[in-house]
């Protein structure tokens, strides 16, 4: 795998783009803090972009499956660069509306880019290397998040927001150059002859029966709810724990513990999971996530909160690469674009629901009761699938074996 130039180009591009992405996110928060006093209005502006990504997801899936992946990535990369230009206009005119247009355009580009990228990975590495590739790719994204946020914070102390967005634009331009350098032998997608009077099927209408036909894929999608119950309210919980312990420094320690443990898990996932039953591993790591949620009942104790976030990060380092590998190998390749667009849409919606729910529960029942509710729901979901699988084992072979 490491002798494959496409792998190095993709990972380098991910690191550069991740730096640009997180510098842009820090810039967005700074701009909002300067011009929007209301926290509710800030959330609405951020939500607008996510909503745009949800609406365009079905179209993105159809386009990704109908055309070669590299041109889609290139178009999405150009869209990212154009979106940053809108932010320069927002800075020039001190206009929130230009920022709203920026948020919409950047999310529209992401709605095409990330599903196309997930569809492309199985084309550049062999199936036996997918687990390792997914783990390394997620580690690169995590490193970019850590370095990007730290770099952006330092830049804001000595530079203007214009300079921050210029750095973000340069990063996206380098990603575009890296995308052009990819050498992928993609077969053209044959276009079916159009029959008069025939209605074009919706992308997701074709994907849902496919998902139902692969029980392990459906189960993995549902089990994604478990880590999302933690991730959706991650920032709010960190703030709440900081207030609970009356310690501002704990916020950075919690992010560090989770990030380092995530990278550790993603780094060793191939050694632990290679050749093992993926279904049992998914159930095991979602069980660990559930326990880490429940253990936050003791979040007022500093060491316990750090252990909880560390265990959560480690479990996610295993969970997400395995989940990505299951999706890439079990779903037929001709449906990858629509499937990953569908999954991205579900993630966006679920993230927003959990975020709102976390805020509501923290205001009403408090952190300790909230983690008991979320942890119990997660544990019940894991136990249900564990019992169900013990009675009726799921078929875990990939689609090529099923079609044989």
pTM of the model: 0.71
Specify the pLDDT at position 401.
42
- Interatomic CA distance for residues 369 and 144, integer angstroms: 34
> At 224, is the secondary structure helix, strand, or coil?
coil
- Contact by Cβ (8 Å): 134, 270: no
Please give the pLDDT value at position 38.
65
Helix axis angle for 96-124 and 39-66, nearest 10°, is 40
**Residues 144 and 21: beta-carbon distance below 8 Å:** yes
Question: Is there a shared CATH topology between the 1-184 domain and the 203-396 domain?
Answer: yes
CB atoms within 10 A of CB 200: 7
Domain boundaries, the chain: 1-184, 203-396
> What top-level class would CATH report for the domain 203-396?
mainly alpha
387 CA to centre of own chain:
29
pLDDT of residue 399: 45
Cα dist from 102 to 80, 250, 278, 317, 326, whole Å: 9, 33, 40, 31, 34
Q: Using CA atoms, how far apart are residues 267 and 289, in angstroms rounded to an integer? A: 18
Per the rule left: phi > 0, alpha: psi between -120 and 50, beta: everything else, 275 is left
**CATH code linked to domain 1-184:** 1.20.1250.20
Residue 9's alpha-carbon distances to 3, 50, 127, 182, 347, in angstroms, are: 11, 28, 19, 7, 27
pLDDT tens, residue order, the chain (404 aa): 667 788 888 788 778 877 877 777 777 777 877 787 765 666 677 677 777 777 887 777 788 777 788 888 889 889 988 988 998 998 888 888 898 898 888 888 888 888 888 778 777 777 777 777 777 877 787 777 777 777 777 777 777 888 888 888 888 888 888 888 887 766 644 444 343 333 444 556 777 787 888 888 888 888 989 998 888 777 778 878 888 888 777 777 887 788 889 888 888 887 887 777 778 888 899 999 999 999 999 988 999 999 999 999 999 888 888 888 888 888 887 777 788 778 877 887 887 788 778 878 888 888 899 999 999 999 999 998 888 877 766 654 444 444 43
């Amino acid at each position: 795998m490491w002798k494959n130039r496409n792998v190095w180009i993709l990972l380098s591009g991910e690191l550069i783009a991740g730096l640009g992405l997180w510098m842009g996110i820090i810039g967005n928060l700074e701009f909002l803090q300067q011009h929007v006093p209301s926290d509710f209005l800030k959330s609405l502006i951020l939500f607008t972009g996510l909503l745009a990504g949800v609406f365009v997801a079905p179209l993105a899936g159809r386009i990704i499956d109908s055309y070669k992946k590299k041109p889609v990535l290139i178009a999405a990369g150009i869209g990212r660069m154009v979106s940053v230009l809108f932010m320069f206009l927002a800075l020039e005119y001190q206009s929130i509306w230009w920022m709203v247009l920026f948020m919409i355009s950047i999310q529209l580009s992401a709605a095409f880019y990330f599903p196309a990228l997930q569809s492309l990975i199985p084309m550049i590495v062999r199936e036996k290397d997918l687990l390792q590739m997914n783990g390394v790719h997620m580690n690169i994204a995590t490193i970019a998040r850590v370095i990007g946020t730290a770099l952006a914070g330092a830049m804001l102390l000595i530079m203007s927001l214009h300079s921050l967005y210029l750095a973000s634009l340069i990063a996206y331009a380098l990603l575009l150059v890296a995308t052009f350098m990819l050498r992928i032998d993609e077969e053209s997608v044959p276009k079916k002859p159009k029959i008069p009077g025939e209605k074009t099927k919706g992308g997701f209408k074709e994907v849902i029966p496919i998902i139902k036909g692969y029980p392990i894929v459906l189960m993995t999608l549902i089990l994604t709810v478990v880590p999302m119950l933690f991730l959706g309210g991650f920032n709010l919980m960190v703030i709440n724990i900081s207030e609970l312990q009356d310690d501002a420094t704990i916020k950075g320690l919690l992010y560090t513990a989770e990030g380092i443990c995530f990278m550790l898990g993603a780094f060793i996932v191939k050694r632990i999971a290679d050749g093992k039953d993926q279904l049992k591993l998914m159930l095991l790591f979602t069980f660990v996530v559930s326990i880490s949620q429940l253990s936050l009942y003791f979040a007022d104790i500093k060491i316990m909160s750090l252990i909880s976030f560390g265990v959560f990060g480690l479990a996610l380092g295993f969970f997400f690469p395995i989940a990505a590998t299951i999706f890439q190998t079990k779903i037929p390749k001709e449906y990858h674009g629509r499937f990953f667009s569908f999954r991205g849409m579900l993630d966006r919606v679920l993230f927003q629901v959990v975020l709102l729910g976390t805020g509501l529960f923290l205001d009403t029942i408090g952190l300790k009761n909230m983690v008991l509710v979320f942890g119990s729901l997660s544990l019940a979901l894991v136990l249900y699938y564990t019992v169900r699988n013990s009675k009726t084992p799921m078929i875990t072979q990939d689609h090529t074996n099923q079609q044989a």
